[in-house]
């Protein structure tokens, strides 16, 4: 089996590659990644000399690069992770989000159609359903109601992917996962940011009242789900993938501080995110019915492993937080902490 992975130097894609190459019948993997701020080849140290692995630096929006890779490698399966993946950045700077997530997906779909791939797995998110009121849960037929540039771009890409099934009979499968956490996650998302700030005794910026609810999925479980979808998923089907683990942000941050042994006073309530979705909740029965997969990592175990990984890898964290990270952090949080100080 030959798999083209896009965005494999990022958080989830790199876990997918490491996990796939550990399996008994390991596929050949070609990892196409532009190496944006969140792409990091350090995440792939464990596999870089593996003969079944090849890295190609390239932009999914670049038609000639994509065409070249498809012609040269003739992948049977595409697993498409590459994206601008962060909501807050998409609010600050939407351009690359729309370009990569929508136009980049289109470019890949065209190449997949031309080169007749056997499966196109599109990795999407529960955010496309928008905020879901209690006690509702979104199943795969739930209407799409994205709230911001990131989720709207992912919803747009989802619809484009499905249109290639209907119009060109491209064998696509769409997956929508909830919030992932685990090792190697760039410290801009809630869990790694809070762990990283707590480890260095910096304030933990909790948006608004902190009662927003997310479902938390351990990244290893997510990648096992994608493996199950590749093996047993049905063409033309959308699968929700959740961790069966819903918590408020305040609860998550509290648990992080308890795990690290730092005081709750580090939590600072700050200015809210514009268009902040209150609650995500999905029903994930279909994937279990079709593939037998269900999440098996408890939040306690997943969080303990994640905290331990960040404690054990201060050099990774230091390198990731150097460069333009500080500039990003200032742009993102300066005005928010300012609100806190005024209170």
The residues carrying an active-site annotation are 126-127, 150
| DSSP 8-class letter at 38 | T
224 binds ligand NAD (CB under 6 A): no
- Which one of 59-67, 129-137, 283-291, 331-339 is the stretch in contact with ligand NAD (CB under 6 A)? 59-67
Q: How far apart are CA 123 and CA 15, in angstroms?
A: 14
Return the number of the residue (28 or 89) whose C-beta is nearest ligand TYD: 89
Q: Among residues 113 and 279, whose Cβ is nearest to ligand TYD? A: 279
Q: Which does 193 bind (CB under 5 to 8 A by kind): ligand NAD, ligand TYD, none?
A: ligand TYD
The partner in contact with residue 39, picked from ligand NAD, ligand TYD, none with C-beta cut-offs of 5 to 8 angstroms by kind, is ligand NAD
| DSSP tag of 292 | -
Which of 193, 195, 223, 241 binds ligand TYD (CB under 6 A)? It is 193
- Mask for 29-48, x = binds ligand NAD (CB under 6 A): ----xxxx-xx---------
Alpha-carbon distance of 235 to 131, in angstroms, equals: 28
Backbone angles phi, psi at 95, to 5 degrees: -50, -55
Binding ligand NAD by CB under 6 A: which of 3, 5, 10, 193?
10
Which residue of 3, 5, 12, 132 would you call a contact of ligand NAD, by CB under 6 A? 12
Question: Cα 319 to the chain's mean position, in Å?
Answer: 21
Please, which residue, 115 or 122, has the CB nearer to ligand TYD? 122
**How far apart are the C-alpha atoms of 50 and 84, rounded to whole Å?**
28
Instruction: Give the C-alpha separation, 262 to 298, whole Å.
Output: 22
From CA 136, how far away is CA 142, in angstroms rounded?
10
Q: Does 87 bind ligand TYD (CB under 6 A)?
A: yes
Buried b (16+ CB within 10 A) or exposed e, 184-213: bbbbbbbbbbbbbbbbeeeebbbbeebebb
**Interaction of residue 121 with ligand NAD, rule CB under 6 A:** no
CB nearer ligand NAD, residue 238 or residue 268 = 238
Burial of 251 (0-12, 13-18, 19+ CB in 10 A): middle
Distance CA 7, CA 124 (A): 13
Burial class of residue 134, CB neighbours in 10 A (0-12, 13-18, 19+) = exposed
CA distance 214 to 248: 6
Residue 206 lies near ligand TYD (rule: CB under 6 A): yes
Q: Does 124 bind ligand TYD (CB under 6 A)?
A: no
- Which of ligand TYD, ligand NAD, none has residue 249 at its interface (CB below 5 to 8 Å by kind)? ligand TYD
- Binding residues for ligand NAD (CB under 6 A): 6-7, 9-13, 33-36, 38-39, 59-61, 81-85, 100, 104, 123, 125, 154, 177, 179-180, 186
- Binding residues for ligand TYD (CB under 6 A): 87-88, 127, 179, 189-190, 193, 205-207, 212, 214, 249, 273
């Amino acid at each position: 089996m030959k798999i083209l992975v896009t965005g494999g130097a990022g958080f989830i894609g790199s876990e997918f590659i490491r996990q796939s190459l550990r399996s008994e019948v390991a596929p050949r993997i070609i990892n196409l990644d532009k190496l944006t701020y969140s792409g990091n080849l350090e995440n792939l140290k464990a596999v870089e000399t593996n003969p079944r692995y090849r890295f190609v630096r390239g932009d999914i929006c670049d038609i000639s690069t994509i065409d070249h890779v498809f012609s040269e490698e003739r992948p049977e399966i595409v697993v498409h992770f590459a994206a601008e993946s962060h909501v807050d950045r998409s609010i600050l700077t939407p351009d690359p989000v729309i370009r990569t997530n929508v136009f980049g997906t289109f470019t890949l779909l065209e190449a997949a159609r031309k080169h007749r791939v056997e499966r196109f797995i599109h990795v999407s998110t529960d955010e496309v359903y928008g905020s879901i009121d209690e006690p509702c849960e979104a199943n795969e037929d739930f209407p799409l109601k994205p709230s911001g540039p990131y989720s709207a771009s992912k919803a747009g890409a989802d619809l484009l992917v499905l249109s290639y099934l209907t119009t060109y009979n491209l064998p696509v499968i769409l997956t929508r996962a909830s919030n992932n956490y685990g090792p190697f996650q760039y410290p801009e998302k809630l869990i790694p940011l809070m762990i990283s700030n707590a480890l260095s005794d910096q304030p933990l910026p909790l948006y608004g009242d902190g009662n927003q609810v997310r479902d938390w999925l351990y990244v290893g479980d997510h990648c096992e789900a994608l493996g199950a979808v590749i093996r047993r998923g049905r063409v033309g089907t959308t699968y929700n993938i959740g961790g069966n683990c819903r918590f408020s942000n305040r609860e998550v941050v509290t648990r992080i501080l308890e795990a690290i042994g730092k005081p709750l006073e580090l939590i600072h309530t700050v200015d809210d995110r514009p268009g902040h979705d209150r609650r995500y909740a999905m029903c994930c029965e279909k994937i279990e019915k079709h593939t037998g997969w269900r999440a098996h990592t408890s939040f306690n175990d997943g969080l303990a492993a994640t905290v331990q990984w960040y404690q054990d890898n201060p050099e990774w964290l230091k390198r990731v937080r150097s460069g333009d990270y500080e500039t990003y952090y200032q742009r993102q949080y300066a005005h928010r902490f300012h609100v806190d100080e005024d209170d």
